[in-house]
Amino acid sequence: MSATVITVKNDGSYYVKGDFTLVTEGGTPIVNEDGQEAWLCRCGQSSTKPFCDGTHRKVKFQSRLDPPV
């Protein structure tokens, strides 16, 4: 069993890698075809929620958690 790592991408989605299960609030499993990884929407605009479809680039979503370089 590998550790799960969630990376918050600057101006983008959550990248989840490792052993995990996605479920709705009511406990219904959400099928993740990639198995051991997923890109999850953070901007709220994806047409494939909870998965990211790249819309954050179109809507110019901004969220930088790292200090400026």
> What is the pLDDT confidence band of residue 67, given thresholds at 50, 70 and 90?
confident
Residue whose structure tokens are 């953070």: 42
The dihedral over CA atoms of 47, 53, 58, 62, expressed in degrees to the nearest 10, equals: 100
Tell me: the pLDDT tens digits for 13-63? Answer: 999 999 999 999 999 999 888 779 999 999 999 999 999 999 999 999 999
Each domain of the chain, given as residue ranges in start order, spans: 1-58
**Whether the predicted pLDDT of 1 surpasses 70:** no
d(CA 67, CA 35) in angstroms, rounded, equals 32
Domain 1-58: which CATH number of 3.40.5, 1.20.120, 3.10.450, 3.30.420? 3.40.5
Tell if the pTM clears 0.85, that is, is over it: yes
